[in-house]
Structure 1
Amino acid sequence: MNIKALSYYDTRLFFWLFRLTKNRSCRPIIWVSKTGDGYLYFVIGVALWAFEPDYGTLFLFTTLMAYSLELPIYIILKSTLRRPRPCDFLHNMTSHITPADKFSLPSGHTAAAWLMSTIVAYFYPPFWFIAYGWASMIGISRVLLGVHYPSDVLAGMTLGILIANFSLAILA
C-alpha cells in the first residue's frame, strides 16, 4: 500500500471518528484529553517518590529521564515532518479545542500518556490495564476533538512506548 492510500484511509477514519462528536457536548472528551497535559504525570511521580518506598524513587527517575528524551525527539519530529493538523488542513472542519501548535505528527499527548503508562505497567503490573486504557482514551480523545489524525496517535503511541522501554532498559 502506498502513502497516498494510507493518507486516504487515515483521513476517512479521522472523519468517521470526528463525526461521532458532531452536535454533542465534548466536555468529557476534553477532560480526558486534559489529563494528558502533563500535570498529572508530575503529581503521580512526586506522590510515588514521597509515599511508595519500594519503587517510588526509581519510578520518578525513570520517568524524568524518559520525558527528558521524549520531549526533544517529539519537538524535532514535529518541526521536521510539519504535518498540518486536520482542523487546519481539511475544508469545512473546525476542531472542538484550539491546539497548542500548528503541527500534528506525532501526537504529543499520546506519546506522553503511553510513555507514562508503559513505565507504570513495568513498576506496578496490577495497574497495566488502567494505565493503558487511560493512554488509549487520551489518544482517541485527540482524534475525536479534531486535532489529530489516527496515524498521529499511532506514531505518538509508538514514540512513547519506545522511549519508555529505552529508559527502563537503562535504569530499571
Structure 2
Amino acid sequence: MKLLYSIHKYDVFMLIWLINVRMHGSLAKFSRYMSRTGDGPLYLLVAVLLYWQQGIESPLLQAILLGFLIERPIYFIVKNSLKRNRPAAALQNFHSVITPSDQFSFPSGHTSAAFMMATLISYFFPALMIPLYCWAALVGFSRVVLGVHFPTDTLVGVILGISTALFSLGQIIP
C-alpha cells in the first residue's frame, strides 16, 4: 500500500506541477490538437489506405487489426477493473481542460493506441520511427496536460501499446 500511495503522490505532484507551469495555456491548445490525433479516425484511415493499396494480405494491416483486437479488450478490462479515478474526480478543486470520454483513467487508451501504431508502422517503415514515437509521446503527454490522466496512466499505456504491437508482429511475421 505504501508503494501505491507513493506512486499516487508522485502522480499528483507531476500533474499539478505541469498544470501550474507558466506556459500551460499554450500547451493546452497544442495538446487539444495532439490528443485529437489519437482519437481513432487516423488509425482507421491508415487501415483503409493499407487495404486499398495492398488488400487484406498486407502484413501491416494484419498486425494493426490483430493489435487492436488484443489491445482494446485488455485496455477495457484493466480500466474497468481497477477503476482509477481521473484527476478531476480524484483531486479537490481540480478541473480538466477537456471532458474525457469515459470515467476512469488507468491506463491511457490514447497513449496505448498511439504507441501500438507507432511500433507497428515503425517495424515496416524504420525511417519513420523517430517521428512516430515523438508523435505517440506527444499524444500521451497531451492527455496529462489536458488533465484527464495522471503520468503513470500514460506510462502504462506506453507499455500496453508497445507490448501488444510486439505480440502482434510475432504472430504475423514468422
Q: Shorter-chain TM-score category?
A: over 0.9
Q: Supply the AA of the counterpart residue of 2:96.
A: S
Alignment of 1:92-111 (within 5 A): 92-111=93-112
Determine the C-alpha separation between the residues in 2 that align with 1:25 and 1:132: 19
Q: Kindly tell me the number of residue pairs found equivalent between the two proteins.
A: 170
Distance, in Å, in 1 between the alignment partners of 2:25 and 2:162 is: 34
Q: Does 2:34 align with 1:32?
A: yes
Residues 101-140 of structure 1: pairs in structure 2 closer than 5 A: 101-140=102-141
Structure 1 residues without counterparts, runs of 5 or longer: none
2:79 corresponds to: 78
Q: Aligned equivalents of 1:123 and 1:79: distance in 2? A: 33
Return the alpha-carbon distance in structure 1 between the equivalents of residues 145 and 25 of structure 2: 12
TM-score with structure 1 setting the length: 0.92
* Matched-pair contact (CA < 8 Å) for 2:28–2:142: no
* Cα shift readout 1:81-101 (whole Å, capped 9, x = no counterpart): 000000121011111100001
User: 1:108 & 1:64 partners in 2: Cα distance?
Assistant: 16
> Which residue does 1:16 correspond to in 2?
17
Are 1:49 and 1:59, in contact at CA under 8 Å, matched by a contact in 2? Answer: no
Distance apart, 1:16 and its partner CA? 1.1
Shift of 1:11: 1.1
Deviation at 1:22, TM superposition (A): 4.4
Percent sequence identity over matched residues? 40
Change (3 A) 1:166 1:12: same
Answering whether residue 159 of structure 2 is matched by residue 158 of structure 1, we say yes
Deviation at 1:25, TM superposition (A): 7.1
Tell me, yes or no, if the aligned pair for 1:104 and 1:147 is still in contact at 8 Å: yes
Alpha-carbon deviation of 1:50? 2.5
SS at match of 1:146: coil
Task: Look up the equivalent residue of 2:46 and give its one-letter code.
Answer: I
User: Paired residue for 1:50?
Assistant: 52
Separation in structure 2 between the aligned mates of residue 62 and residue 156 of structure 1, nearest angstrom = 18
Q: Which amino acid aligns with 1:66?
A: G
Deviation at 1:143, TM superposition (A): 0.1
Contact in 1 for aligned 2:88/2:95 (Cα 8 Å): yes
